[in-house]
Structure 1
């Protein structure tokens, strides 16, 4: 009989896990930082309006307020506070005329015009009329409105006048939450950096040179901080977007493209988002400084008719 000799433990190494490469920036799992307001923000109860949260960090429906006329000072104060805290406010069934919609927005500041958009009942009202024969424009892309301006819009008020039977939602993302959750090494790379914004990439998909060339002098490329500071809340906000940001200043093209691709993907994170399903006459009022938005084009061949007014903003810092 042969007796087996035990193999020393040192000759039987413990099993090891094989190497597996994850592309840089390609995976993030675990709990995210979800702060709706600045850490030093004092939250107070609302006494004149009803605020119904629609998301963890962004989006609230506002009830018990009449938008058809001037807001009383106490109501305006609470609406503005909700606007800063929730970044996008929803008003069901407001059914405002274009004149009332513009008057509501003007309570936050003068309105801007945009020669690149279809005109509604006045120069201040932009119309987005999408039907079976319309050219698909300004949809299916995360973006911030008019960052190609030296002073991008502070906010916008959008009303749906005709809604498709299904689809046509709009999504918003909180770019303060997007910044909060960046790795420290990425924050170190972009804090203090600037990027160039230009209207041509966002519009040449839809318009020919004959439309764009006359506007080049009116809208030259501008530089904005990659991380802007909200002028009212003080929060840091990621401020680059797919439609208008062309490159980061001081980086070679490959490095800039790679970093921008990573940064703009942050808006895609569901925890930073709210999604709104429209009904006819609904209004959304969003903070263009603090958010990105995405109009979902999933309703063809049905019609979707919206009108928007935009409130002039200040220079990002």
Structure 2
């Protein structure tokens, strides 16, 4: 169901179901914090894909040397648009890693198949389920220091389908009802690797990985370390409960918060072409890979950048 701001707040207070609750009415859609302003980009063109999130970068060849000036301007675009896209970039996985290293140390993911290098997560899909797709999530929030961001390159693009969506979780926080914000202010939530991967691993491996990666706590609302934006930082794949609340209340609020990524106004949808690349800020977004291309293959390689402890 959809509910008004008043009803959404009352539903949370009274414990009524809000499983599918999205607040009705106009939404505040701003790419920046109030004190920030957009500045022109001098080293490339920018084509926003919507008023809020996502932009294509034009006039940059990632095969060529990326100067510090270009890197800085690309970083500014990443912070502004949360996810930036590049078309017609015929690079290989080695160059993909070189570019990512300009933003920091590279991360490995023990749960995803590796490509030519341990830092490459390879997603080769097609005829065989199960799949990591069709779920909104933020990457690796089960880590104490979730990824700063990731660069995704499609090696093989299906003839149709296989899009990816991103949602701006600062906008999701901005538009929460005020008393919902009060309910979650200062709260932390538990993030656990097991829910996101339980269907892919047998019990023995699950226990092994849980010992290696025990549950961690992160703020329900994190502050972006560079922009200062307050950002909703829970996701259905890995967030299991809000600390200090009983299970029923925690589940009710989390269902409501999870649903906020579903608002189309907060989203951008990207249709892949050969040699397309996406670079997203994992601190500010959730994403959703659409599995609608069966039985055609879709092969992607992702390189993630080590982040910091959310606060």
Question: Would you say same fold, with TM above 0.5?
Answer: yes
1:40 aligns with 2:35: yes
8 A Cα contact 1:130 1:136, kept in partner: no
Counterparts of 1:228-307 in structure 2 under 5 Å? 228-307=222-301
CA contact (8 A) 1:69 1:100 kept: no
The TM-score with structure 1 as length reference comes to 0.91
SS in 2 for 1:118: coil
2:78 to 83, 87, 95: 83
Partner of 2:92: 97
Equivalent residue for 2:47, pick from 44, 52, 55: 52
Question: Distance in 2 between the 1:96 and 1:40 partners?
Answer: 38
Residue 195 (structure 1) aligns with = 189
For residue 183 of structure 1, report the CA deviation from its aligned partner: 0.4
Which structure 1 residue ranges, 5 or more long, are not aligned? 1-20
> Alpha carbons of 1:303 and 1:227: their partners in 2 closer, same or farther (altered >3 Å)?
same
Q: Find the partner of 1:224 among 218, 223, 230.
A: 218
What is the rounded CA distance, in whole Å, between the counterparts of 2:211 and 2:130 in structure 1?
A: 27
- Specify the alignment match of 1:13 in structure 2: none
Deviation at 1:27, TM superposition (A): 5.3
User: Structure 1 residue 72 and structure 2 residue 67: aligned?
Assistant: yes
Provide the rounded CA distance (Å) in 1 between the counterparts of 2:37 and 2:298.
40
- Distance in 1, Cα, partners of 2:22 & 2:76: 35
Answer yes or no: is the 8 Å Cα contact 1:48–1:75 preserved in 2.
yes
For the 8 Å contact 1:70–1:104, the answer to whether it is kept is no
- d(CA) in 2 for partners of 1:117, 1:302: 20
Note if contact 1:52-1:61 (Cα within 8 Å) is conserved in structure 2. Answer: yes
Contact in 1 for aligned 2:148/2:282 (Cα 8 Å): yes
Return the offset for 1:76: 1.1
Aligned-residue offset at 1:174: 0.1
- Tell whether the 8 Å contact from 2:161 to 2:290 is kept in structure 1 after alignment: yes
Secondary structure (helix, strand or coil) at the match of 1:293 reads: strand
Superposed CA deviations along residues 255-309 of structure 1, whole A, max 9, x for unmatched, are 1111000000000000000000001111000000000000001111111000000
| Aligned match of 1:137 | 131
Distance 1:213 1:101 in 2: 33
SS at match of 2:137: coil
Gap regions ≥5 residues in structure 2: 1-9
- What does residue 58 of structure 2 align with? 63
Q: Residues of 1 paired with 2:22 and 2:165: CA distance?
A: 23
Where 1:223 maps in the other structure, the secondary structure is strand
Structure 1, residues 175-200: CA drift from partner, whole Å, max 9, x if none? 00000000000000111000000000
Structure number, greater radius of gyration: 1
Q: Output the CA distance in 2 between the equivalents of 1:99 and 1:281.
A: 14
Aligned residue-pair number: 296
Specify the alignment match of 2:119 in structure 1. Answer: 124
Give the secondary-structure state (helix, strand or coil) at the position aligned to 1:189. Answer: helix
